[in-house]
Amino acid sequence: MTIRKLRVIALICLDMIVITLSYFLAYVLRFDFKIMNHLNYAYAIFKALPIILLIHLALYLSLGVFRSLWKYVSIEEALLLTISTVVANSLASMLLIIAHFPLIPRGVYIIATILIIVGTIGSRVIYRYLRIQRKSANKNIKSLIIGAGDGGYFLLREINSNPMYENKVIGFIDDDRGKIGRFINGVKILGTCDDIESIVNNYEVKTIFIAIPSAKKEELRRILNVCQKSNVRVRIMSIAEVKEFNKPVIRDVSIEDLLGRGEIHLEQDEISDYIENKVVCVTGAGGSIGSELCRQLLKFKPKQLICFDINENSLYDLQQEIEIERRKNKYYLDTEVIFLIGSIRDLNRLNYVFNKYNPNVLFHAAAHKHVPLMEDSPREAVKNNIFGTLNVVQACIQNKVEKMVLISTDKAVNPTNVMGATKRMCELIIQAYRNNGVTKLGAVRFGNVLGSSGSVIPLFKKQIESGGPVTVTDPEITRYFMTIPEATQLVLQAGVYANKGDIFVLDMGIPVKISKLAEDLIRLSGLRPYEEIEVKYVGLRPGEKMYEELSLGEEIRHKTKNDLIFINEPMDIQLDDLLSKINQLETIMYKDLPLEKIRHELLETIK
């Protein structure tokens, strides 16, 4: 016999005992404990009890009372038990009267019904309470939940019932002062966010959970900044996954939660006009920006999405991810997604792909982007970024692609390194071909992207996990930051406006000190910077600047309809002059020159 069947038999036996005791207790209560004068009614109950039990058992089984898990007993189970008991006792009383059984007073039926409801529900509640208490004995990480609403209650139940959590919730935090002093499932609401630091110290709290699904980015950042002062681990209930799995999914707070600007409002109709039912190609599709572009593009229902990349591993990962999501019906299933290996250095390969699939729109994200690496390999940076971009532009024009958008970088502004110089040349190529009469061209320029491969965030996380030190180049160095989804969404919006070599600049917000970023990441890990994790300053790397810029001094900037996107008027770049400079670079690439000489010639070319 299986454990499940034994469990059901045990539940049946327990409920039958509760029903039996309830009837005899109802008899005692009905006659105010003076039972010796009314023994005939005790005999009547004793004789009718088998029928009463059979009716209860049949109704409980038919309504699925014993299929409910006691550890999840809730209002629904209590209501089911109440209805089942009322109906069962009503049927039993009518059947016994029709069958001419000895009369049982109506008061006994009424009192017994109440006692059975209390007894059956009470036994389940007691079981659940004892189970939670037994599990709580092993939970020793004192924790707070911020948010004494539905989200907080939902999370508390999950923490208490799930053995994976070793957390013991000792209190709630909520900014609604009217809730302070009240209880949720026996846990007290201790104070507001302003009281967090003192509550953490007084109760020796180790972890704080944030359970406010409705919180906007500004409110979330305010709460996180308060929590950081307490040097405890902070975790957050993931909103999207709560909706998807109908249970709270907890994740560590990310730096994106601190720096991200939340939902970006896009002109959906405008983007759909140039994406929906069109053939769209993304070069560098396996990279951080390229892969996110592919994810975002699928939401706009292109006819075909061509994912083009030289890196087979990253392209394979993207392919598997998209296939898994499509099986969940997450992405538009009528879009044909094509994964192609190829290099933008190979003009023949580009022409073959463009001629075969006839893309309407192309997003050019393929590039070598790592500053220190490109300082040591300037020839490869020039071949890939400059010659590759020229190939893409020429292939677009030759194959009548309607629109091409280049992904650029703030390092292209007054560049001091090889990578920045090559990306500036890419912008110049876009502007030089602005009057081609076939393909509308544009470039989108933005700063660092949080979490992209090779960025500072993954590096800091690895250093923290290994115990430090966290290495920062300079205490005063600053960078612009944007999350990957923010950047790609704005790229799609900028694509609406792309026309004649326009350079679009994204509003990157306020520059962030890298040293503060490192300190924030350490605190988010529940550690104290400079005490538990060392922050070490190692000096600027080759080609690095102390700060980045978003526009050249001579560029004229205008606002677009989107407040987060600006447009720089295209500069008067002559195509013949540009091609001459590129030819000079090509000649230099194959000469046996020192690396420093190549870097110098490259920087001179873009002046």
Please report, for the chain, the start and end positions of each structural domain, with discontinuous segments joined by +. Answer: 3-134, 139-253, 268-448+482-508+549-605
pLDDT of residue 314: 94
The dihedral built from the CA positions of residue 126, 132, 163 and 134, taken in this order, carries a sign that is: negative
Q: Of the CATH numbers 3.40.50.720, 1.10.260.40, 3.40.50.10320, 3.90.1150.10, which one belongs to the domain with range 268-448+482-508+549-605? A: 3.40.50.720
pLDDT of residue 337: 94
Peptide bond into 469 cis (omega under 30): yes
Residue among 403, 411, 440, 461 flagged as catalytic: 411
Q: Which two tokens stand for residue 235?
A: 């975790």
pLDDT of residue 275: 93
pLDDT of residue 74: 62
- The rounded distance, in Å, linking the Cα atoms of 272 and 300 is 6
Which of left, alpha, beta for 112 (phi over 0: left; psi -120 to 50: alpha)? alpha
- The rounded distance, in Å, linking the Cα atoms of 441 and 444 is 10
- DSSP class of residue 529 equals B
Classified as helix, coil or strand, 74 is: coil
pLDDT of residue 354: 97
Sequence-ordered list of residues with C-beta below 8 angstroms from that of 67, at least 6 positions apart, any chain: none
- The rounded distance, in Å, linking the Cα atoms of 272 and 32 is 78
- The rounded distance, in Å, linking the Cα atoms of 263 and 489 is 10
The dihedral built from the CA positions of residue 127, 131, 134 and 139, taken in this order, carries a sign that is: negative
Identical fold between 139-253 and 268-448+482-508+549-605: yes
Under-50 pLDDT residues of the chain: 241-245
Which of left, alpha, beta for 510 (phi over 0: left; psi -120 to 50: alpha)? beta
Cα Rg of the chain, angstroms: 34
- The rounded distance, in Å, linking the Cα atoms of 420 and 438 is 28
- Respond yes or no: is residue 411 known to be catalytic: yes
What is the Cα 59 distance to its own chain's centre?
Answer: 46
How many residues are recorded in the chain? 607
pLDDT of residue 408: 92
- 3-state DSSP: the chain helix, strand, coil percent, rounded to 5? 55, 15, 30
- Exposed (0-12), middle (13-18) or buried (19+): which is 547, by Cβ within 10 Å? exposed
pLDDT of residue 245: 47
Question: What is the second-level CATH architecture of the domain 139-253?
Answer: 3-Layer(aba) Sandwich (3.40)
- The rounded distance, in Å, linking the Cα atoms of 420 and 603 is 9
- The rounded distance, in Å, linking the Cα atoms of 364 and 367 is 8
Nearest one of 40, 16, 53, 55 to 105, comparing CA atoms: 40
- DSSP class of residue 32 equals T
Q: Which two tokens stand for residue 588?
A: 């230099």
Tell me the backbone φ, ψ of residue 188, rounded to 5 degrees: -80, 145
Under a CB-based contact definition with an 8 Å cutoff, are residues 394 and 441 in contact? no
